[in-house]
Amino acid sequence: MFQKPTTKSFAAVAIETGAFVAGAKVGDGIVAVMPDSVSSYRRYLVAGMTLLAAACVAPKTTMAQAAQNALIGAGAKQLYDELSETLAGAIPVTAGSSTTNKFVNAVVGHSPDAALVADTSQVGVGAWLGEPENMWDRPAELQEAEFTGL
C-alpha cells in the first residue's frame, strides 16, 4: 500500500493537488456568476455537473488526471460549502476553549472566533459608564481626546 516516494510520484501528487485546488476556486467563480433564479440550488448544480463530468474522464495521462481532479475539486468544494452552511446554522456554537469544542466548531463550520462570543454573560460589561445601551454614544470630544495619533 505505501511505498517510498519518488520524484515522479511526488510531482504527480503535486499536480493533482494543484488541479484540485484550482478546480475548487473555479467552481466558486462559476457559482458566483450563476443567475439569482437558481440561487437556492446553484451549489448542487455545480457539484452535480462537475462530479458527473469527472466520472466521464479517463485518467490515463497526467493531464487527464489533473482535469479529473480539477472537476472533483469544483464539486467537492461546493458540497463542502453547502454542508458547512447547513451545519453552522443547525448546530449552536460550543463555548469554551477545550480542544473538543474547537474541533466541533471547526467541523461544523463556525468561524474560529465564534466560540469567543458564545458566552454572552459578559456582553456590555465594558460599556461606556457601565450603561450598555449607551455603548456607541460616547461623547465626540472624549473620542478625539483619546486619539493619540500614529
pLDDT at 128 (0 to 100): 47
Q: How far apart are CA 60 and CA 10, in angstroms?
A: 17
Q: How far apart are CA 83 and CA 95, in angstroms?
A: 21
Q: How far apart are CA 63 and CA 61, in angstroms?
A: 5
Q: How far apart are CA 49 and CA 27, in angstroms?
A: 11
Q: Are 23 and 72 in contact (CB under 8 A)?
A: yes
Q: How far apart are CA 86 and CA 143, in angstroms?
A: 41
pLDDT in tens, the chain (150 residues): 888 999 998 999 999 999 999 999 999 999 999 999 998 899 999 999 999 999 999 999 989 999 999 999 999 999 999 988 888 777 777 776 678 777 877 777 776 666 555 555 544 544 444 555 555 555 555 555 555 555
User: What is the value of pTM for the model shown?
Assistant: 0.67
